[in-house]
Structure 1
Amino acid sequence: MNGAAALVEMLVGYGVEVIFGVPGDTNVALYQALKANGGRLRHVTCRDERSAVFMADCYARLTGKPGVAEVPSGAGAMYGLPGVAEATQSSVPLILLVNDIPQPGMGRGTLTELPVTELFNPIAKRAEALGSIQKLPEVVRRAFRLATGGRPGAVVLSLPEDILYETLPDSASLHVEQRCRSAPSSRVHAAASDVEMALETLHGSKRPLIVAGGGVNRSQAGDMLTRLAEKLMIPVVTTITGQGVIPDDHRLAIGIIGDNGFHPHALWALRQADLAIYVGCRMGSVATMNWKLPTDNSATRIIQIDIDPGIIANTYDVDLAMVGDAQAVLSDLYARAPVAVPDAREEWIAEINGRRKEFWRGTEPRLKSVQAPLLPERVIDALAGHLSGPCNVISDAGTPTPYSTRFLRLDHPRSKLVIPRFFGGLGYAIPAVVGAHFACPEMRSVALFGDGSLGMSAGELETIARLKVPVVLIHFNNACFGWIKALQRVQSAGHDNEGTFGVDFSNLDMSKLAQVYGIRSFRVQTSTELEQALAAAFASDEPVFVDIVVESIADRLPPVFSWLEKSGVDPEDVGTGARHRSSLSHSVETSEQASRP
């Protein structure tokens, strides 16, 4: 058995079902081994190395198992940087295999030579080069151990081509560590004294609030969090990456906090809470609206629970620090929590839910609007009407984000909304939806993306068509880098609107692009066409591309706290639908007979 065959054998042993990658000069040995592995490990050929890593990232987010991608040397490795950085900072278990140049050529100006470990170490949890065939099993085991252990992250292995051709010694053991097949591989419990102190603090609280971050999803702790919230009658708000830890229709599921796509009633609850329990949340700039909430002089007590001790109290002075895995700590709290809770919590929950109902009543006109171009929230509401069962919705970080986080309601406990939030890189949704399909083939997957993202990942439409992945692809077409154009208008409020620069595209019918790849497509410009296209898409068992002409977020302020505040609009006004003060365009409510743009 050569090194490449041994590598594949170990990947199978770790439960890897699919590996995403791009062929190149240096990964021939690996491809030969993959071809000979008898179908136990499926390889998905991508059109771009960035896409391969994004697919692996999304697969890992939805399964908890390490996503695996492989790339050739040189530019292939460089294109893997964005996905590795995002996975590490978003605590996603991921392993990137860089098929590197042969060892004898290193340091001699060999074509495509790069210092791989030096390149990735600043952004990966670990980057390591394989130095000899004898070390291969050890290096692979360490990669899975680190990717899944503690706070999960991305591990990069540089595998010289010549070593993968060498024969593995008979003495080498290809055993795998079963606990490292998924993350977290070990669950760290908080100190018993901290658990008791937390329960004592909770007992004295009349208005407690749980703030669930992405760490709850990474820990697969949603069910336990819901059970604890129900037992102690604690309402739950989430960050964007924490969405889905509790079904949106649950009485205790209040909504989203943070700068982007927030719910006014969720922010109100955080302002009024006498105790905020942050679970798996960094308390970074987005979740705290640039550290404005909680305020420095707030009477709100803070308990922070996180697997990474370096995160706790990093941005706020907390009253109780609990270092541990989210599911483990929540389980301990649940097991020791008393049954009786203060009567005041029922009034607290009722008041928040009253405000939640007021919010949804106030937004109803925009959600059902027949305006053309279509409002982005109208698109999200229409989509929600077709999500009758469990589904995975993958959104890019641009135009769809504030509307999907605020208006998309996922009621099924298995449904997830995935957004790459840490670095906000575009071009994620289209490839990631492929990873979502392989993670949960029994569930429908939906991709939400704008013009900028489509331009960066359009090649993967061929991958989707080739694999016949039954996904629904929803394009928010506003012919510009909408998010940046909107930001330029916010920054230039009160000045000449003509100052927007470098953000506009040609106004094109992108459904024709999907047709080039053999994907069934629709061009949507009215609400009637929207409903017809979505109905057809969800009735289909093949990929469907829906190109929707939407109002640009550069023309009307999206639900972004800092932008609304800067523009002189009360962010917590339920009826906020304000237009940019510097916008020269005007949107008028129209009927279905309105002239099309």
Structure 2
Amino acid sequence: MRGADILVEMLIGYGVEVIFGVPGDTNVPLYEALQEREGRIRHVMARDERSAGYMADAYGRFTSKPGVFECPSGAGAMYSLPPVAESNSSSVPVILLTIDIPLPGEGRGVLTELDCARLFDPITKMSVQVKAAEKLPEIIRRAFRVACSGKPGAVHLQIPEDMLIAEVDPSRISLHVEKECMEFPAYPTLPAPGVLDELMKLLTSSKRPLIVSGGGVNRSCAGAEVTELAERLNIPVCTTMTGQGTMPDDHRLAVGVIGDNGFHPHANWSLEHADFVLFVGSKMGSVVTIGWTFPKITLNKRVAQIDIDPEIMANNYENVLSVPGDAKLVLRQLIQLVPETADAARTEPWVTELNELRADFWENAESLLTSELTPLRPERAVRSFNEAFDAYGKPALIYSDAGTPTPHMTRFLKLKDPRTRIAIPRAFGGLGSALPATVGAWFADKERRPIGMFGDGSFGMTVGELETLVRLQVPAILLLFNNGTFGWIKGLHRLKGHNQCFGVDFMPPRGQAIAEAFGVKAWTAKNSKELDFALAEAFAYENGPCLIDIHVESIADRVPPVYSWLSKRGKDPLSTKAEEVRYF
């Protein structure tokens, strides 16, 4: 067997259905092996290695399998760095194969020579170079084991081209796979005996308990377990930004999003006034705690933490209890410990108080959500999306870039169908992920419509992937928030008192014209009436990708719902009153 045959057979054995990538000089042997097995595994060509990585990232986020992508040597490997770093820090299982120059060329000035194993080492769970074709099965097994076990993350394999064309005696190798490592979580863990009994006592003895659901809950697909535990004990639930969608937003126990960016004031208030808080699958990092300045009443001694990664336990606060383990598995065990005589009435005054605050917030927000001012307000755009999505009545996989759409979508988006998932890459806040991510989302689950949300800064970085969407006939709905600026950065300039902003403005793209040039169905929306029409048309259109060019007010024109920004403008971020805050 050739090394390339071994590699592809191992991938098929591990249940890999699709591999994303970009062709190059060095990966021709891999493509030959893939072509010979067409029908058993599919290769999806992206137009850029970074885009291929974001496709794999979305696939890993929306399935229980690791996303796999490949790239050629040199620049291809360097272009792959951003998505790998994002996946690894976001605990998304991803495997990157860089097909490199032949081993005999090392140190001899061969074109595209690069020590990729060292390059990716700081941003992966494992980064190794394959130096013998006979080692390929063993290393592939290790790659899946590392990516899917413990805290999931990214793995990088540097495979020299000569390893793919080398002949290997099949009797000297084993192509067996570890079934436990085909999906995440491999080898899920539980805490020591007695720990969950102690946690249940804390939950059932507090009068104002709160559950905070983080990205780890979505990664573990444990939303149903969080919901059941909350209902059995009558405990309100907040989410972090990456935990959004844990439970339906119209649930009486679903308080809202905590943290700095796109927060709900009543949710942050609940975190400050709870007497016991259970964090599930959250690092409790800078966004959630607003740079470790919130809540003002310290969280020390009133926090318990469930997380698959013991290294982050009590990293930022003094936990009253640390519970290591997979969120889904731990919560299932915890639900079994709920006493039959659990007193739901004990927490009802707390739940009622939070729901009153929540109702007050949404009542006051109505003036923003129904505003017909131009340019189109972001809040009004979210209202239009909510209404169109409700009318559509089917689940979706939503991937939003970290830029312009984030604060308003996080605050005002209402997800009612538990089958709908939303992902926002928050580890590094890089732009340019959402458009290619719709490709990965489509291959993750073709029963759920892929939806990508991004600003015009992001659009300019990955516009070439419109061709990929058309070539593959992916029925993605793309929402372009168009205002001709890097809005988040421009807003920071103005927040610091610099109204004459520097290096942040560019020509607004003609989104509809660009999309149509690629063969994408497209509309332009400059007001709510046009947007309502375009959204209805987009959800009804299923013959391929479509794009709505939404001309929207920049977050640099009006302070967005960001806790730290509002504080700097002298406003009370916890107020439930709807107030337009200007920079000047």
Alignment TM-score, normalising by the size of structure 2: 0.97
Render the CA deviation track for 1:118-168: whole Å, top value 9, x for unaligned: 100101111011110110000000000000000000000001101101122
**1:124–1:153: 8 Å Cα contact kept in structure 2?**
yes
In structure 2, C-alpha distance between the alignment counterparts of 1:218 and 1:545, rounded to whole Å: 28
Picking from 454, 462, 473, the partner of 1:468 is: 473
Structure 1 alignment gaps of length 5 or more: 583-597
Partner of 1:371: 373
In structure 1, C-alpha distance between the alignment counterparts of 2:250 and 2:425, rounded to whole Å: 24
Q: Secondary structure at the match of 2:311?
A: coil
| Residue pairs, 1:151-550, within 5 angstroms | 151-171=151-171, 172-295=173-296, 297=298, 301-339=302-340, 340-341=342-343, 343-387=345-389, 388-492=393-497, 497-498=499-500, 500-541=501-542, 542-550=544-552
Partner of 1:590: none
In structure 1, C-alpha distance between the alignment counterparts of 2:363 and 2:297, rounded to whole Å: 33
Tell which deviates more after alignment, 257-266 or 387-396: 387-396
Deviation at 1:347, TM superposition (A): 1.4
**1:216–1:327: 8 Å Cα contact kept in structure 2?**
yes
Structure 2 alignment gaps of length 5 or more: none
Q: Secondary structure at the match of 2:243?
A: coil
Alignment-mate amino acid for residue 75 of structure 2? A
In structure 1, C-alpha distance between the alignment counterparts of 2:251 and 2:555, rounded to whole Å: 30
Partner of 1:122: 122
Partner of 1:586: none
**1:554–1:580: 8 Å Cα contact kept in structure 2?**
no
In structure 1, C-alpha distance between the alignment counterparts of 2:97 and 2:108, rounded to whole Å: 23
Picking from 563, 574, 577, the partner of 1:575 is: 577
Partner of 1:3: 3
Partner of 2:145: 145
Q: Secondary structure at the match of 1:197?
A: helix
Identity of aligned residues (%): 54
Alignment-mate amino acid for residue 413 of structure 2? L
Render the CA deviation track for 1:461-516: whole Å, top value 9, x for unaligned: 11111111101111000100011001111122xxx522x11000113422111111
Render the CA deviation track for 1:375-403: whole Å, top value 9, x for unaligned: 11211111111222211111000010001
Tell which deviates more after alignment, 151-160 or 330-339: 330-339
Tell which deviates more after alignment, 209-218 or 572-581: 572-581
Alignment-mate amino acid for residue 179 of structure 2? Q
Deviation at 1:255, TM superposition (A): 0.6
Partner of 2:564: 562
Render the CA deviation track for 1:383-429: whole Å, top value 9, x for unaligned: 11122221111100001000111111111011111110010000000
What is the count of residue pairs matched by the alignment?
A: 578
**1:555–1:579: 8 Å Cα contact kept in structure 2?**
no
Alignment-mate amino acid for residue 133 of structure 2? I
In structure 1, C-alpha distance between the alignment counterparts of 2:76 and 2:387, rounded to whole Å: 41
1:109 aligns with 2:109: yes
Alignment-mate amino acid for residue 94 of structure 1? V
1:51 aligns with 2:56: no
In structure 2, C-alpha distance between the alignment counterparts of 1:367 and 1:560, rounded to whole Å: 17
Q: Secondary structure at the match of 1:244?
A: coil
In structure 2, C-alpha distance between the alignment counterparts of 1:451 and 1:426, rounded to whole Å: 10
Partner of 2:66: 66
Alignment-mate amino acid for residue 379 of structure 2? E
In structure 1, C-alpha distance between the alignment counterparts of 2:27 and 2:250, rounded to whole Å: 48
1:21 aligns with 2:26: no
**2:92–2:153: 8 Å Cα contact kept in structure 1?**
yes
User: Compared with structure 1, are the counterparts of its residues 160 and 346 closer, same or farther at alpha carbon in structure 2 (3 Å cutoff)?
Assistant: same
In structure 2, C-alpha distance between the alignment counterparts of 1:472 and 1:439, rounded to whole Å: 16
Render the CA deviation track for 1:79-107: whole Å, top value 9, x for unaligned: 11111111111000000000011011011
Tell which deviates more after alignment, 508-517 or 560-569: 508-517
In structure 2, C-alpha distance between the alignment counterparts of 1:168 and 1:222, rounded to whole Å: 46
User: Compared with structure 1, are the counterparts of its residues 297 and 152 closer, same or farther at alpha carbon in structure 2 (3 Å cutoff)?
Assistant: closer
RMSD across aligned C-alpha pairs, in angstroms?
1.2
Q: Secondary structure at the match of 2:251?
A: coil
**1:556–1:577: 8 Å Cα contact kept in structure 2?**
no
Deviation at 1:299, TM superposition (A): 7.5
**2:305–2:313: 8 Å Cα contact kept in structure 1?**
yes
Partner of 1:595: none
Alignment-mate amino acid for residue 430 of structure 2? G
**2:301–2:318: 8 Å Cα contact kept in structure 1?**
no
**2:126–2:155: 8 Å Cα contact kept in structure 1?**
yes
Alignment-mate amino acid for residue 440 of structure 1? D
**1:392–1:444: 8 Å Cα contact kept in structure 2?**
yes
Q: Secondary structure at the match of 2:170?
A: coil
**2:285–2:291: 8 Å Cα contact kept in structure 1?**
yes
In structure 2, C-alpha distance between the alignment counterparts of 1:466 and 1:342, rounded to whole Å: 54
Deviation at 1:108, TM superposition (A): 0.9
In structure 2, C-alpha distance between the alignment counterparts of 1:520 and 1:299, rounded to whole Å: 53
**2:557–2:583: 8 Å Cα contact kept in structure 1?**
no
Alignment-mate amino acid for residue 135 of structure 1? K
In structure 1, C-alpha distance between the alignment counterparts of 2:582 and 2:360, rounded to whole Å: 25
Alignment-mate amino acid for residue 73 of structure 2? S
**1:276–1:300: 8 Å Cα contact kept in structure 2?**
no
In structure 1, C-alpha distance between the alignment counterparts of 2:464 and 2:150, rounded to whole Å: 36
Alignment-mate amino acid for residue 311 of structure 1? I
Partner of 1:587: none
**1:273–1:300: 8 Å Cα contact kept in structure 2?**
no
Q: Secondary structure at the match of 1:337?
A: coil
Alignment-mate amino acid for residue 361 of structure 1? E
In structure 2, C-alpha distance between the alignment counterparts of 1:29 and 1:296, rounded to whole Å: 60
**1:430–1:473: 8 Å Cα contact kept in structure 2?**
yes
**2:361–2:578: 8 Å Cα contact kept in structure 1?**
no
Tell which deviates more after alignment, 359-368 or 41-50: 359-368
Flag as ranges the 4+ runs of structure 1 deviating above 3 A: 294-300
Alignment-mate amino acid for residue 566 of structure 1? K
**1:465–1:543: 8 Å Cα contact kept in structure 2?**
yes
**1:489–1:580: 8 Å Cα contact kept in structure 2?**
no
Tell which deviates more after alignment, 447-456 or 300-309: 300-309
**1:206–1:342: 8 Å Cα contact kept in structure 2?**
no
Q: Secondary structure at the match of 1:68?
A: strand
Tell which deviates more after alignment, 568-577 or 269-278: 568-577
Tell which deviates more after alignment, 566-575 or 78-87: 566-575
Deviation at 1:225, TM superposition (A): 1.3
In structure 1, C-alpha distance between the alignment counterparts of 2:577 and 2:270, rounded to whole Å: 18
Alignment TM-score, normalising by the size of structure 1: 0.95
Q: Secondary structure at the match of 1:97?
A: strand
Render the CA deviation track for 1:267-298: whole Å, top value 9, x for unaligned: 11111100000111111100111112234645
Q: Secondary structure at the match of 1:485?
A: helix
**2:300–2:318: 8 Å Cα contact kept in structure 1?**
no
**2:442–2:474: 8 Å Cα contact kept in structure 1?**
yes
**1:304–1:322: 8 Å Cα contact kept in structure 2?**
yes
**1:480–1:504: 8 Å Cα contact kept in structure 2?**
yes
In structure 1, C-alpha distance between the alignment counterparts of 2:221 and 2:431, rounded to whole Å: 26
In structure 1, C-alpha distance between the alignment counterparts of 2:297 and 2:534, rounded to whole Å: 49
